[in-house]
Amino acid sequence: MRTALSGVIASRGLALGRVRIREPQALEVEEQRIEADAVEAEVERLHDAIAAARDELEALRRTLQGSVAPELGEFFDLHALLLDDPELISGIDALIRTGRYSAVYALKLQRDRLAMVFDSINDPYFRSRREDLDQVVGRIYAQLHRRRDAAAPEGQAGEILVTDSVAPQELAHLSARGVLAVVTSGGSALSHSAILARSLHLPLVAAVHELLGRVNDGDLLLVDGERGAVIVEPDADDLAEFQRRRRGSERERRRLAKLRTAPTRTADGVDIRLFANAESPEDVAEAFALGADGVGLYRTEFLFLQRPGVPDEDEQFQIYRDLVLGMGGRPVTIRTLDLGADKADATGLALAREPNPALGLRGVRLSLARRPLFAAQLRAILRAAAYGPVRILVPMVCSRREMSEVRALVTECAEGLRSTGQACGERVQVGGMIEVPAAAMSLGSLKDAVDFLSIGTNDLVQYLLAVDRNNDAVADLYSPLHPAVLRVLHDVLGSGRRWQLPVTICGEIAGDPAYTRLLLALGLTQFSLHPSSLLEVRRAVRDSDFGALRRRASPLLRAVDREGIERILVRL
């Protein structure tokens, strides 16, 4: 029987295939007690299962290849850290020894206790770790039952995986195995899994709350990632519509391919610059091939997230140098270390268990607190700048004092390199990332301390609206179309023009063609986006009249609510 359900658009695309259900990861285990003389053997069984889960995770990491390998390293490291977390392991040991529970039931009790703690904390970082906890516990549970394939991603070619949640690590394997799409009962469009699914061009519809109770293995499912909808057992009209839209998508891809070498120029002759966000050699190669004007945001934290040790200056230099050479003379903007908050690391640099990590020691705060580490990174960047144009971008800026300290350290590092005869970039610009409302509201005090600005809309929207972008419960409240967001963007862009400071937007909205005309209307002329979105945004720019859009900015800024902005946006 045909059933249509709605969810959240997490990764666009269309798919039609057979359902493969993976049951939710919640543990349903009845209380089990053991004899006193069996306690030590049960503790040993638990530790053997944890060791096997750790080996399984490392084996899965070794199979990763291509552009997703660096990005997924973060999640493997986080799960490895959880498997070594004394709070998790000692708690299970204690339950086995004092309560004489079986390892499986002790695992359930400890998981439930920690999940309650996560759910009760009003902090985005800790709440987002609840899903990771479930995934790690699932691996241990599978090993305790000697079901070594239970934690592996399910789904074969031609199938659509339907489950409660999907880990980022799984998505690359699902895509490689020919899984057509993923539908989850939880999650959001801003989760790590959603962002990775978009990079893989794997359709993902999240938060379809009723789906698991409505489908069975083998049911035919139509996934509409363009509209955030799924249809169980689609009828003839649905299938005809699907085929029509799929043919349209193929024609669309062929049309976009013709724009690889086209200029990014509006219909009224205004040149717009499209830079790329990158964190891997593959991203850089794709950006160069698609005609990006340069790299507008290179995320250096992925060098730290993939490993237990800190990369030294020479290792960082070689990576940054190859990045610069890979862009063939086009400018590269390297963001300094942005650990903390939702980016857990295995190096011990970020503080563990901060009361509120999103507002804690992160970004430039962490770098200035770890000056020898920061100096090594700056020296590596300055050495790479001898091979081509490089800019340094400082994250999480709040004050002029921070930028002054960074600039002083850059000068000190450059002088030190020159004194030892090492090649060093001569005129390396230093810019600030505007993602904290305080920075946006006090630009006047920053203007003489920065050479350029880059607006990180993902965090800026989150901080302006006090809405956790990874929290499904408030997902509807997170929107760049809030009047406050538009006014802040307009003010920052206007200040940049007055002070002749280049301003780039590098958040998710820069790569969404649905927002291109809105951003042009606000005066944006420099975008930084994932390479996969570059051609679509280029086309949107070429179809726009910059002057006409600028004249529509006033009605946008007078709108009093999100609905009013959406109505104007449709007319743009």
Amino acid at position 204, single letter: L
Alpha-carbon torsion (35, 40, 43, 44), positive or negative: negative
CA distances from 418 to 383, 389, 412, 414, 426 (A): 10, 18, 10, 6, 10
CA distance 552 to 484: 17
Assess whether 398 carries a catalytic annotation.
no
| Terminal C-alpha separation, the chain | 40
Listed in sequence order, the DSSP H helices in 145-259 are 168-176, 192-200, 236-257
Assess whether 192 carries a catalytic annotation.
yes
> Which positions ≥6 away from 142 have C-beta within 8 Å?
53, 148, 149, 150, 151
> Would you tell me how many other CB atoms lie within 10 Å of the CB of residue 2?
12
* H helix or E strand, kind and range, residue 74: helix 68-83
> Which positions ≥6 away from 177 have C-beta within 8 Å?
153, 155, 156, 157
* H helix or E strand, kind and range, residue 117: helix 103-120
Alpha-carbon torsion (342, 344, 348, 349), positive or negative: negative
Q: How open is the CA angle 82-471-516, to the nearest 5 degrees?
A: 120
* C-alpha closest to that of 83 among 58, 104, 64, 108: 58
Longest Cα–Cα distance of the chain, Å, equals 83
CB 288, CB 330: distance < 8 Å? yes
Strand order in the sheet with 14-21: 3-6, 229-232, 220-224, 14-21, 159-163, 181-184, 204-206, 8-11
Amino acid at position 381, single letter: I
What tokens were used for 438? Answer: 């305080």
CA distances from 233 to 215, 220, 237, 252 (A): 9, 5, 12, 27
Phi, psi of 506 (to 5 degrees): -120, 10
> Which positions ≥6 away from 192 have C-beta within 8 Å?
75, 168
Choose the catalytic residue: 398, 413, 424, 506: 506
CA distance 458 to 512: 13
Choose the catalytic residue: 79, 192, 482, 530: 192
Which residues are paired to 183 by β-bridges? 162, 205
Query: Hey, which residues are catalytic here?
Result: 192, 506
